[in-house]
Structure 1
Amino acid sequence: MNPAAHSLYPELDATALTAFAAALESGEPAGLPPARAAEVAAVRAVAVFSRGKVTGAEGDLLDAALWRHTGSGPRPVVVMPAPWTDLGWLAYAVQASRFAVRGYDVLAYSPRGFAASEGHADFAGPLDVTDGRRALDHLLERAAGPVTRIGFLGVSYGAGIAQLVAAHDARVDAVAALSGWGDLAEVLHENATRRTAAAHALLTASPRARLSAPTQRALENVLAHRDTREALAWAEQRSPFTHVKELGRRQVPVFYSHAWHETLFPAHQVLRTFQELTGPKRIDLSIGDHCVPETTGLPGLPNRIWTDAHRWFDHHLRGLGNGIDEEGEVLSEVMWSRALEPSPTWSALTRRIRRLHLTGTGELADEPDPGWAAVVLCGVEAPVTVADEIARSGYAELAGRPKPYPEAAAMDRTAAAVWTAAPTTATTRLRGTPRLRVTYRAANSGSTFVAYLLDLAPDGSARLITHAPFSDLDSPPDSLISADIDLQPTAYDLPPGHRALLALTPRDPFYADANLPRATLSFTSPEPTPSYVELPVG
């Protein structure tokens, strides 16, 4: 993993977006590509574009842009809080314009502490919720005619804000949350493991952002392993999952998009929030990483995520019968075939569970095999990792180039405990959430391991399917510890002749490591509680 600061949205061209916004304002599209120039003309034919300021919480002025129709007829509106980027609302210039052409009044704004907005970033806390409501007030006061229905749409940081504003403001009729989070506590601490790479990325990805003292402290505490309770309480208030019952009470329609290999906001905590929603809902799960599936749509390239976000609002805000409500709650893109599979519900993806037991011979077998020990050494380099970089590795995945492990079959057994299943005789469709139960003995108090499920090819190479970390921080030295964890959800086809490979390592650069250097972890399978992995088969 590269620890250097970098944008979470490397594909966005600030110069091109600035030129597009300037042409919206001036009506002079000289220098723009023909397609962008045509979009400028289409917007200006139906709406007036202007820049301005929204008076947010505590009187702070938020930088904003407004697309306003001049006709006095009734119409829906969309508010778009910007992602975690120094570009602010400019990131939405093209997509907001497309909403305007479809008949919406639109307000896009930069959250406090970002771009030209005043104040300090509250990480979707109470000040950001108030700002979102004030942004809606600002838009409603400037609408030329009656407002029929109201939507909030956000990408990443804006997705978290959009959900929280909808939970606190009964005026909001629908939400589209693209690559956001559901439970911020799980984003920062997954299975008691500090997600240090995610905290570092949030601290450094927008170097000109001005973070509030509580936000700065919460993220730094994750890195420094201090004041965990304070950080989790801070995160709970900023989690849509905490407020999901209010969204359900009002039956707010919510559209999610997310990536299977999301390294910033892992998919399982979003799916947990999704499953708690009781109103109309839909989630689109794709190949890639944080914001990778939808980023190409921000500058205007064809993008199915944005197409469905428009369809979601067209149906729930404009009342169009476009069929999106009949296509099932889940659409999953299968790695790496790119096939799209609809499902009526998340649970319907999994048809059966196949339980494979960890054995002393290194096999994943149908029957338990108690009493063995597989010992690994802590503090050494892991032979497999979650990804090379937060977010950026997802662009290679999107292009069909997942990270290869050319010698996975010969993985160093002192650095990883490894088990392999028998070769498949037919394609095995993994659909859903794999689960792991394993018992281990830690020589010291405080221990961590990371579980990886890989696809092992006949030539000995492998690709990562999914993973999850686990830490135990309280058990006394040399005690047996039982770990029951969900791995990240997946949609993966294991081809004929390939094997499922399970690897357990004591460290990964994406996570904090509670182990002592040169300590050992000894994995085993007691007879009363055998160790196994459960594979969800579609």
Structure 2
Amino acid sequence: MKPADPSDPATPETPHTPHAPHADSLYPELDAVALGAFAAALESGDAGGLPPARAAEVAAVRSVAVFSRGRVTGAGGVLLDAALWRRKGSGPRPVVVMPAPWTNLGWVAYAVRAGAFAARGYDVLAYTPRGFGASAGRADAAGPLDVADGSRALDHLLERAAGPVTRIGFLGVSYGAGIGLLVAAHDPRVDAVGAFSGWGDLGEVLVENATRRVGAVRALLTAAGRARLSPGTERALEDVLAGRDLDGALRWAEERSPFGHVKEFNRRRLPVFLSHAWHETLLPANQTLKLFDELTGPKRLVLSVGDHAGPGAGGLLGLPDRVWTDAHRWFDHHLLGRAAGGADEGQIAAEVMWSGTVEHRPTRHALTRRTRRLHLTGGGQLADRPEAGWTAGLLCGVDTPTAVADEVVRSGYAEMAGRPKVYPAGDIDRAVAAVWVGAPAEDTLRLRGIPRLRVTYRAANPGSSFVAHLMDLAPDDSARLVTHAPFSDLRSAPDSLVGADIELQATAYDVPRGHRVLLVMVGRDALYADANLPRASLAFTSPEATPSYLDLPLG
């Protein structure tokens, strides 16, 4: 590869010194020092400072591949920081391109995992997208320039392969996942793609049920840190925060959404592997499921406990990891032509929250076997029969204990260790929140799929919003979050009835015997923009013609 040019302003002063991890990183488990040391050992061959397992991996990779650092010339001549693993010998080999996540750590995040691909028979190129780390240019947020850069990175890899290239894959985590999917949609040379914690519809990441997802947008801007965002990217994200020109921001997002390229994926029957977390606070799961459902070629989806990039985080550091094992099998099958392995267990691998159990299903919709409808009643119960004529109010502009997450991304990492947040249900003020509770479960209630909520409410003022939290209420009055969704109405006249028909985020959760399903509606949650006037109120009801209900998907 082309050596780093010290005169290039994008070249670090000390090329082999890993970037220090940021406290505001979207990937709190990534150890920048350990990954940087691994990359340095790959280059120098001196693995004396590494743990024995990592040192053995360095030796194994160097025995079959040549590692080098350098630059890829992207669109417009922008130089991208990159690393290359080239298999020794002149035999045929598949290749994998890995765009880095939304972090100034750049391609170093893949130092261990790219080596594992090289040891399995692949040439690998990992690179840092423009605007991040030691790459020049400004971040295009998976726009046309990033897509062009991905194809240029592939060109670079193909030109340097020591033997014939048989098949081509793209694989990325988070930002790299979105870029990889879009490059695969635009570049017909790509034969398979893998996306960990990426997005299908970027518009739904920014705005969900007409509600601005300001917590996620703030996290993206903060985590960009020292990155250099393009003016269009910065403007779109700032517009979402400010609540201005949302149509423009959504047009910007549409160009960056793999969902808009489903026809191209399906025309080529492109194999697509997706991994996501149930409780994603940054890129919610349903928008990825929407993409998955529309794909008609070979596809696989792994849904796991945790938050953004949590599933697979250990694998990036070289630890045993179910998600990465599954991804390796997927690429080995579609690029190396090996037996399907885990890929023959069905399209879906769904981890049940807190239990660690993994359920395999032939299709996503096979997760749900039937639906149980519970009606909201005036007595605060979730009942089997509808009841009309009641009113239940909530007070807006007041914080409650039922916030979705104390902190975007980080709150979900405790869940991966089996320590979900416990909510004191007794502290929920019924004068502030609207609350409904079901009867104790006679047997384990296996929630599998997307719950749906239909409610009617009256808002005295123009502009209203609420967040619905579906919870598991234990006999000791403690509760755990199962799933949630926001809703906003920005168009109705004051004092008119508003109908909200929404999907909550998908879930796989077992409500134990004796526990109750708890539905809590609040007017404010820090993850979302608040369209309500301070101290306004919402009055929920259930008209006879359109009763309010909660549909639970049961497995």
TM beyond 0.5 = yes
One-letter identity of the residue aligned with 1:314: D
The correspondence for 2:170, drawn from 139, 142, 152, is 152
- Indicate the residue corresponding to 2:233 in structure 1: 215
Per the TM alignment, residue 322 of structure 1 is displaced from its structure 2 partner at its CA by 3.4
What residue is the counterpart of 2:362 in the other structure?
Answer: 344
Instruction: Check the 8 A contact 1:11/1:296 in 2, yes or no.
Output: yes
From 121, 125, 134, the equivalent of 2:139 is 121
C-alpha separation in 1, matches of 2:427 and 2:52: 54
Deviations 1:179-208 (A, max 9, x none): 001100000000000000010011011311
Partner of 2:27: 9
5+ residue gaps, structure 2: 1-21
**Matching residue of 1:463:** 480
The 3-state SS of whatever aligns with 1:133 is: helix
Q: Distance in 1 between matches of 2:88 and 2:492?
A: 66
2:460 corresponds to 1:443? yes
1:325, distance to aligned residue in structure 2 (A): 3.2
2:297 aligned with 1:279: yes
Instruction: Tell whether 2:33 aligns with 1:19.
Output: no
- d(CA) in 2 for partners of 1:371, 1:530: 10
Deviation at 1:69, TM superposition (A): 1.3
For residues 441-498 of structure 1, the C-alpha deviation after alignment (integer angstroms, 9 at most, x for no partner) is: 0010000000010000111110000000000001010000000000000000011100
Letter in 2 for 1:137: D
Alignment of 1:116-195 (within 5 A): 116-195=134-213
3-state DSSP of counterpart to 2:29: coil
* 3-state SS of 1:296 partner: helix
Are 1:409 and 1:456, in contact at CA under 8 Å, matched by a contact in 2? no
Counterpart position of 2:221:
203
- Paired with 2:375 and 2:447, the residues of 1 have a C-alpha distance of 17
- 2:519 maps to 502
| Residue 519 (structure 1) aligned to one of 527, 536, 543 | 536
Contact 2:400/2:428 (8 A) holds in 1 = no
Q: 2:345 aligns with which of 321, 327, 350?
A: 327
Distance 1:520 1:5, change over 3 A: farther
Give, as a single letter, the amino acid of the residue that structure 1 aligns with 2:136: E
Give 1:435 shift: 0.2
- Which of the numbers 409, 419, 431 marks the counterpart of 1:401? 419
Which ranges of 4 or more aligned residues in structure 1 deviate by more than 6 Å?
none
The residue matched to 1:293 in structure 2 has which SS?
Answer: coil
Q: What is the rounded CA distance, in whole Å, between the counterparts of 1:5 and 1:44 in structure 2?
A: 33
- Corresponding position of 2:445: 428
Determine helix, strand or coil for the equivalent of 2:224. coil
TM-fit CA distance, 1:100: 0.3
Q: Find the aligned partners of 2:432 and 2:85 in 1 and give their Cα distance.
A: 57
Q: Which amino acid aligns with 1:434?
A: P
- Name the structure 2 match of 1:532: 549
Residue equivalent to 1:64? 82
Per-residue CA distance 1:407-463 (angstroms, 9 max, x = gap): x14521121100011101111100000000000000100000000100001111100
Q: Counterpart in 2 of 1:384?
A: 402
State the alpha-carbon separation in 2 of the partners of residues 5 and 29 from structure 1: 28
The answer to whether the Cα contact below 8 Å between 1:383 and 1:412 also exists between their aligned partners in 2 is no
> Do residues 33 (structure 1) and 51 (structure 2) align?
yes
| Structure 1 position 405, deviation (Å) | 1.1
CA distance in 1, matches of 2:238, 2:178: 20
Give the deviation of 1:383 after TM superposition: 2.8
Q: How far apart, CA to CA, are the structure 2 residues paired with 1:142 and 1:70?
A: 12
1:480 equivalenced with 2:497 (yes/no): yes
For residues 385 and 246 of structure 1, what CA distance do their matches in structure 2 show? 39
**Contact 1:467–1:488 (8 Å) recurs in 2:** yes
- Give the 5 Å matches for 1:290-301: 290-301=308-319
Q: CA RMSD in A?
A: 0.9
One-letter code aligned to 2:447: L
Task: Compute the TM-score of the two structures, normalised by the length of structure 2.
Answer: 0.95
Equivalent position amino acid for 1:250 in 2: R
Looking at structure 2, the residues matched to 381 and 55 of structure 1 have their Cα atoms a distance apart, in angstroms, of 50
Indicate yes or no: 2:290 matched with 1:247: no
Match of 2:432 in 1: 415
1:295-327 CA-to-partner distances (Å, cap 9, x unmatched) read 111111111111111111000000100333321
CA 1:349/1:457 → structure 2, altered by over 3 Å: closer, same or farther? same
In structure 1, distance between residues paired with 2:32 and 2:443: 48
Equivalent position SS for 2:373: strand
CA distance in 1, matches of 2:490, 2:291: 27
Measured in 2, the distance between the counterparts of 1:313 and 1:65 equals: 20
How many angstroms apart in 2 are the aligned matches of 1:175 and 1:291?
17
- Whether the 8 Å CA contact 1:466–1:487 is kept in 2: the answer is yes
Could you say which residue in structure 1 is the equivalent of 2:3? none
CA contact (8 A) 1:354 1:537 kept: yes
Give the Cα separation in 1 of the matches to 2:28 and 2:399: 29
Taking structure 1 as the reference length, what is the TM-score of the superposition? 0.98
Identity across matched positions, percent: 73
- Tell me what 2:99 maps to: 81
Distance 1:325 1:14 in 2: 32
